[in-house]
Amino acid sequence: MSEEPILSVRDLRITYQTGRNSEVVAARDVEFDLYPGQSMALVGESGCGKTTLGLGLLRLLPKLGRIPQGEIVYRRKDGTTADILKMGKEELRRFRWSEAAMVFQGAMNAFNPVQRIGAHFADTLKDHLPEGKRLSKTEIRERSEELLRMVRLEPGRVLPSFPHELSGGMKQRALIALALALNPQVLVLDEPTTALDLLTQCSIVEELHRLRAEFGFTMIFITHDLGLAAELADRVSTMYAGRIIETGTAEDIFYDPRHPYTSGLINAVLPVVGDLPQLASIPGSPPSLATLPAGCAFGPRCEYVQDRCREAVPALEPLTDRPDGLTHATACLRAEDVQHSREVVSRA
């Protein structure tokens, strides 16, 4: 893997205003380095802050969202760096899509329903180009057709269609093609296969594998589906109550989770392969972000909890020493005591 991270996030905090003088912290203390070509999954349950973090990385938060603290340093191909949080409006517009693009959640609703697919491509190709560059109508059409063929869609059928005329899987493919329009270095995908049928999910996953091999982009994808993370990610970070509580390679996270929450999450996934294992759900429900418990936010639901867990928020401590952001780290005082077993069975 290569030398410098493409994206370095430090001490990031994202808040939402909930009233005139009140706010909730939706993501806090987020730090990670992402290296070129890596694929990182952000996993967690609804409300854990994973979508907020994904949107925050491209500064696409909704109106009431703010980033009061932290930095997100992006390294361009030429080696220059820029803090995304300090970019001006124009700079940000050119950065989005040509450097980093997003595939939004819910393929069903991500397109404007009264615009043809072709118009979406034309808008994107016109709007986010580097300064001084312009494309002619023919060039726009040719590029759109090329992009759609890349995701195995028929341009002649899709470009003149309205979004409602396409199936969910076709829309998701078109959305991925749109995100790749300007050859971004980083692709953020928010729940790329949720709400799609199983066989369609499978074909999208294959598409992403193929595109990544071909274009070598760096990928962050947000999902609640641990199976998808196992399939697509080299690295996995688990989020709980706005914080990254464990991070490591896919093998670390799935075979040797050191945080009781990660372990519980994996054990709650129902398998199709093999015999019926003993399944356990995690007792209780996630805390409200407005009233986090003292100390470790998972404490009240944790079977390993001790008095010291309630004293301070445990920091994300490294368990291994590996380069390129592949270190296994966890925010649990009892990391060494966590027992994880899930029978690994092979597919016959």
Partner 1 sequence: MPETPTIPDSPATAPLLRLSGLEQVFDTKRGKVPAVSGVDLKVEAGKVLCLVGESGCGKTTTARAAAGLTRPTGGSVEYLGHDIHRMGAAEWQEYREAVQYIHQDPYASLNPVRTVLSSLTAGLRKHKKVKGRHEARQAAARLLEQVELTPAESYLDKYPHQLSGGQRQRVAVARALAMNPKLLIADESTSMLDVSIRVSLLNTLGGLRDDLGVGFMFITHDLAVAKYFAWDGEIAVMYLGKVVEHGPTPQVINDPQHPYTKALIAAVCEPDPRLARSKKTIPLRSAEIPSLTALPSGCTFHPRCPLAESGDCDTTPPTLAPLDERRRLACHVVARDHVAAQAGTG
**Which residues of this chain interact with partner 1, rule CB under 8 A?**
45-46, 167-170, 197-203, 205-206, 224-231, 250-251, 254-255, 264-266, 268-273, 276, 279-282, 285, 344, 346-348
Report strand pairing: 186-190 vs 218-223.
parallel
What is the maximum alpha-carbon separation in the chain?
68
The one-character DSSP state at 253 is: H
In the complex, minimum distance from the CB of residue 347 to partner 1, in angstroms, rounded to a whole number: 6
In the complex, minimum distance from the CB of residue 279 to partner 1, in angstroms, rounded to a whole number: 5
- Closest to partner 1 by CB, 73 or 150: 150
Interhelix angle 117-127/137-150, rounded to 10 degrees, is 110
In the complex, minimum distance from the CB of residue 309 to partner 1, in angstroms, rounded to a whole number: 19
Tokens 């970019």, residue? Answer: 87
DSSP H or E segment with residue 138: helix 137-150
- Are 12 and 237 in contact by the 8 Å Cβ rule? The answer is no
In the complex, minimum distance from the CB of residue 97 to partner 1, in angstroms, rounded to a whole number: 27
- Closest to partner 1 by CB, 280 or 315: 280
In DSSP terms, 12 is beta-bridged to 30
Q: What's the angle, vertex CA 127, arms to CA 8 and CA 95, rounded to 5? A: 10
- Closest to partner 1 by CB, 96 or 173: 173
- Closest to partner 1 by CB, 114 or 344: 344
In the complex, minimum distance from the CB of residue 249 to partner 1, in angstroms, rounded to a whole number: 8
- Closest to partner 1 by CB, 23 or 45: 45
Beta-carbon contacts of residue 11 (< 8 Å; ≥ 6 apart): 29, 30, 31, 69, 70, 71
In the complex, minimum distance from the CB of residue 272 to partner 1, in angstroms, rounded to a whole number: 5
β strands within the chain, DSSP E = 7-17, 23-34, 39-43, 65-75, 81-83, 100-103, 186-190, 218-223, 235-240, 243-249, 317-318, 329-330
- Closest to partner 1 by CB, 99 or 246: 246
- Closest to partner 1 by CB, 213 or 276: 276
In the complex, minimum distance from the CB of residue 67 to partner 1, in angstroms, rounded to a whole number: 26
Q: What's the first-to-final CA gap in the chain, in angstroms?
A: 34
